[in-house]
Amino acid sequence: MNTRTIVTTLMVLVGLGLMVVSYVFLATPTCNTSIACSNPVMPFSAGIFVVGILIAFTSAIFYTVYKGSE
Amino acid sequence: MTTEAMPQREHTQDAALPQGIGRLTPGWIVFFAAMAAVTAIGMYAYFLQVTNGLIVTGMRGLGTMLGATWGLYVAYYVYFIGVSFAGITVAALIRIFRITKLEPVARIGELLTVVSLILGALAIMADLEKPWRAVVNLIQYGRPQSPFFGTFTMVIAGYLFASLIYLYVTSRRDAAILAEQPSRFQKLYRILAAGYEDTPSQRIIDRRATFWLALAIIPLLVIAHSTVGFVFGLQVGRPGWFGALQAPGFVVLAGVSGIGNLIMLAAIVRWATNTRDRITVDAFAWLAKLLLGLLITYLYFTVVEVLTVTYQAGEVERTLSDALLTGTYAWIFWGAIVSLISAAVLLIWQAVTRKWSIGLIFAAGALVNVGAVAKRYLIVVPSQTHAQLLPYPTGSYTPNWIEWAVVLGLFALGALMIGVFMKVFPIVPLEEAE
């Protein structure tokens, strides 16, 4: 595996990881007993999900623009 | 060299650029001025709306105010998001299945997707009295139980960003080719090319990247369009919206309107950039066959939908279906059906005779878009005015000039974006010789 593949794979994994973690654990309320439960567990988790998407897709730019050997 | 001579030299250099890039013809200037004027009127209407509130529109509260809270803006939001479907789908299918005949329209599709997603985002912002609150609150409080979480994360953010990346990755080679010749855009092309070298290994890298991007984008867009359908389809208290067919119906109608738009835009580009030898009748025939398949599927969905609500529906569903089929909205409903069936007849006739005409395919593309706009309006509005579960009288909704001005302004803005792109970058991918 070369640098291009390693970094691209890492970016995709980090992006997907952020999406999964923010969706399943941070954005989804875990209770339904009070009005406070209507909010996500952690504020800005939707923003984290979006950041995950951005990182995952930016990997394609790195993959094509990176100057190292194939 | 004198400063007066420099623009003249740049102009001469631009003349060497392909597809009329950098050349401002009288026709293009008139087009630009007209679209800028319509955009300005739309912005003025939106300014009135933001300063005075949504009361200046034709929208009113549900129930006691006998109106509709979602009107023209939401209908066009759904429409614009739908249009975005085809561009990137076609572009992705071209890369995955290597459909060479369609390669010249790939970038048109990618651009159409990006522009229509921006317009979709602006349309939904126009629907909100205080749009900045939505931006902050969606990021801060968005949660997966709400379909709007998906609309915000998948459609507005993910889908748009993925499409931009796709457009960029597939445009680098052309930027590098254009960066080699002096022009007023040379710096821009150099930045976009980002050191691109047209070597066999770079081509392999590009092909691999676009293939995987395409593979990732196709499920993303199906999820994204389904999510827009879920915004309506999951509302159990709203007859006419609640139903399992909403999500697949949204995806299929998105394909219909999107490919219809792609056909029209490709025909206009072919004429405006004089690329008749590149965008061939065969490419249009491919798109027409794809459109026909999706159109027949959507017409089948429509028959199933109508049969379900008229066969043995509840009282409210019956009121709604009467309004659609024979009442207030009948002219829009039957207008949409006639448009869609006419387009299908045009396409079937050409498929049977195996004689494809760009003019007729263009007409089919225009007809399906008339039908799609009408269907989007019918999905959004009648369920609010004619399907109250609470004992409110029947409501009504008529969009006023503010809403029409904003929507027309959005169309003009989209046309401007595409028009400016065509004057800066080749909208049809360059051939080796170019």
| Better pLDDT: B339 or B180 | B339
Tell me the shortest Cα–Cα distance from B189 to chain A, in angstroms. 15
For chain B, give the percent of residues with pLDDT over 70: 95
**Whether residue B5 has pLDDT greater than 50:** no
CB contact under 8 A, B158 and A43: no
Say what the pLDDT of residue B6 is.
47
The span from the CA of B321 to the CA of B59, in Å, is 22
Say what the pLDDT of residue B2 is.
43
Selected for mutation to probe chain A from B110, B153, B171 (highest A CB count within 10 Å) is B153
Q: Secondary structure of B254-295 in the HEC alphabet?
A: HHHHHHHHHHHHHHHHHHHCCCCCCCCHHHHHHHHHHHHHHH
Average pLDDT for B293-309:
92
Q: How many CB atoms lie within 10 A of CB B154?
A: 24
The span from the CA of B202 to the CA of A58, in Å, is 18
Say what the pLDDT of residue B434 is.
52
**Whether residue B157 has pLDDT greater than 50:** yes
pTM: 0.90
Average pLDDT along chain B: 88
Residues of B in contact with A54 (CB under 8 A): 157, 161
Say what the pLDDT of residue B388 is.
81
Burial status of residue B27 (CB atoms within 10 A of its CB: 0-12, 13-18, 19 or more): exposed
Structure tokens at B363: 């007409």
Residues 304 to 363 of B: which have CB under 8 A from any A CB?
A: none
| Better pLDDT: B98 or B188 | B188
**Whether residue B29 has pLDDT greater than 90:** yes
Q: Which of A23, A46, A64 sits opposite B209 (nearest CB)?
A: A64
User: What is the per-residue pLDDT across A17-26, written as a single tens digit (0 to 9) for each?
Assistant: 998 898 888 8
Say what the pLDDT of residue B433 is.
52
The span from the CA of B44 to the CA of B408, in Å, is 12
Band the pLDDT of B301: cuts 50, 70, 90: very high
**Whether residue B153 has pLDDT greater than 80:** no
Q: Do residues B151 and B227 lie in contact, with contact meaning Cβ atoms separated by under 8 Å? A: yes
CA distances from B293 to B286, B296, B372 (A): 11, 5, 15
**Whether residue B4 has pLDDT greater than 50:** no
Say what the pLDDT of residue B189 is.
93
Average pLDDT along chain A: 86
| Better pLDDT: B349 or B206 | B349
The span from the CA of B86 to the CA of B303, in Å, is 23
Helix (H, G, I), strand (E, B) or coil at B394: coil
| Better pLDDT: A56 or B4 | A56
Of B338, B263, B256, nearest in space to B105 by CA = B263
| Better pLDDT: B65 or B285 | B285
Range of the domain at B92: 21-424
**Whether residue B51 has pLDDT greater than 50:** yes
Which range has highest mean pLDDT (B179-183, B184-188, B336-340)?
A: B336-340
Tell me, yes or no, if A44 comes closer than 8 A to chain B by beta carbon. Answer: yes
Say what the pLDDT of residue B377 is.
94
Q: Do residues B366 and B20 lie in contact, with contact meaning Cβ atoms separated by under 8 Å? A: no
Nearest CA in chain A to B205: A64
Average pLDDT for B380-399:
89
CB contact under 8 A, B140 and A61: no
Residues of A in contact with B172 (CB under 8 A): 64-65
Tell me, yes or no, if A2 comes closer than 8 A to chain B by beta carbon. Answer: no
Q: Which of A38, A46, A67 sits opposite B149 (nearest CB)?
A: A46
Asked if the structure places residue B74 within a domain, the reply is yes
Asked if the structure places residue B11 within a domain, the reply is no
The span from the CA of B407 to the CA of B46, in Å, is 10
CATH number assigned to the domain comprising residue B212: 1.20.1630.10
Of B56, B1, B6, nearest in space to B406 by CA = B56
Structure tokens at B157: 């953010």
Tell me the shortest Cα–Cα distance from B426 to chain A, in angstroms. 20
Tell me, yes or no, if A36 comes closer than 8 A to chain B by beta carbon. Answer: no
User: What is the per-residue pLDDT across B241-284, written as a single tens digit (0 to 9) for each?
Assistant: 888 888 888 889 999 999 999 999 999 999 999 888 899 999 99
Q: Which of B140, B149, B172 sits opposite A43 (nearest CB)?
A: B140
Average pLDDT for B41-68:
92
User: What is the per-residue pLDDT across B374-387, written as a single tens digit (0 to 9) for each?
Assistant: 999 999 999 999 88
Q: Which of B139, B149, B168 sits opposite A44 (nearest CB)?
A: B139
Say what the pLDDT of residue B176 is.
92
Give the type of residue at B287: L
**Whether residue B402 has pLDDT greater than 60:** yes
Asked if the structure places residue B170 within a domain, the reply is yes
The span from the CA of B343 to the CA of B327, in Å, is 25
Residues of A in contact with B213 (CB under 8 A): 57, 60
Q: Which of A28, A57, A70 sits opposite B143 (nearest CB)?
A: A28
Residues of A in contact with B147 (CB under 8 A): none
Tell me, yes or no, if B136 comes closer than 8 A to chain A by beta carbon. Answer: no
Tell me, yes or no, if A60 comes closer than 8 A to chain B by beta carbon. Answer: yes
Structure tokens at B23: 């050349």
Question: How many domains does chain B divide into?
Answer: 1
Tell me, yes or no, if B138 comes closer than 8 A to chain A by beta carbon. Answer: yes
Q: Where are the domains of chain A?
A: 3-28+38-65
User: What is the per-residue pLDDT across B106-125, written as a single tens digit (0 to 9) for each?
Assistant: 899 999 999 999 999 899 88
Selected for mutation to probe chain A from B139, B152, B220, B223 (highest A CB count within 10 Å) is B139
Average pLDDT for A50-62:
92
CB contact under 8 A, B143 and A60: no
The span from the CA of B164 to the CA of B167, in Å, is 5
**Whether residue B183 has pLDDT greater than 90:** no
The span from the CA of B63 to the CA of B399, in Å, is 18
Helix (H, G, I), strand (E, B) or coil at B212: helix
Asked if the structure places residue B431 within a domain, the reply is no
Say what the pLDDT of residue B3 is.
43
Of B375, B206, B394, B218, nearest in space to B306 by CA = B375
Give the type of residue at B237: G
Which ipTM score applies to this complex?
A: 0.88
